[in-house]
Amino acid sequence: MTSRRLVVAAAIVDDLTGPRRLLSARRSRPLHLAGRWEFPGGKVDPGETPTQALHRELHEELGVVAELGDEIVGPDDGAWIITDRHVMRLWLARVVEGEPQPLVEHDELAWLPVGDWFSVPWLDADVRIVEELTRQVSRGAV
Ligand SMILES: Nc1nc2c([nH]c(=O)n2[C@H]2C[C@H](O)[C@@H](COP(=O)(O)OP(=O)(O)OP(=O)(O)O)O2)c(=O)[nH]1
């Protein structure tokens, strides 16, 4: 049986009840992921709950405090299989303290307006997640 490591990430938006802008982050490492865009986040460490890990990652990577909104539930037992070795859970989030900066792991951030969410080359596994987010926003589900 394959057991995948849990990654947690945030779809950071300007407004949790009517998102117009989505924050995307460009990876600077490792080399095979550099230049591709993703949701900020990272692996859950032993002893952490998923949401504790997400708050820690957002603080380390972007220097912000965020409030979490709804989870974007995926098709793989409620999560999103992203690689052979990782499965991801993702929450909507809104920054409540600080201005996001690309502190580690990323070399650029972009606030993408609705309609332009596919204007950056997302990591392959993220494409279906951005599609789902787009669907939910366009039908007013988030
Ligand atoms: N954070 C994040 N990782 C993603 C996304 N999509 C995707 O395929 N991944 C992959 C890339 C990596 O192989 C893995 C997550 O690892 P990571 O490098 O972000 O985790 P981490 O910050 O804890 O890294 P490290 O301490 O082990 O260096 O998941 C995404 O949207 N966000």
Contact 35/44 with Cβ under 8 angstroms?
Answer: no
136 Cα to the center of ligand 1, angstroms: 24
Q: 38 C-alpha vs ligand 1 centroid, how far in Å?
A: 9
> Which residue, by CA, sits nearest to atom 1 of ligand 1?
41
Ligand 1, residues 5, 6, 7: which to mutate, most atoms within 8 A of Cβ?
Answer: 7
List, in order, residues 6 or more apart from 64 with CB less than 8 Å away.
Answer: 58, 95, 96, 97, 98, 99, 100
Q: CA 84, CA 2: separation in Å to the nearest integer?
A: 8
Using one digit for the tens of pLDDT, what is the confidence trace for 4-59?
999 999 999 999 999 999 999 999 999 999 999 999 999 999 999 999 999 999 99
**Global confidence as pTM:** 0.95
Query: What residue's CA is closest to ligand 1, atom 18?
Result: 42
Sheet holding 21-27, edge to edge: 37-38, 21-27, 106-113
ipTM over 0.85: yes
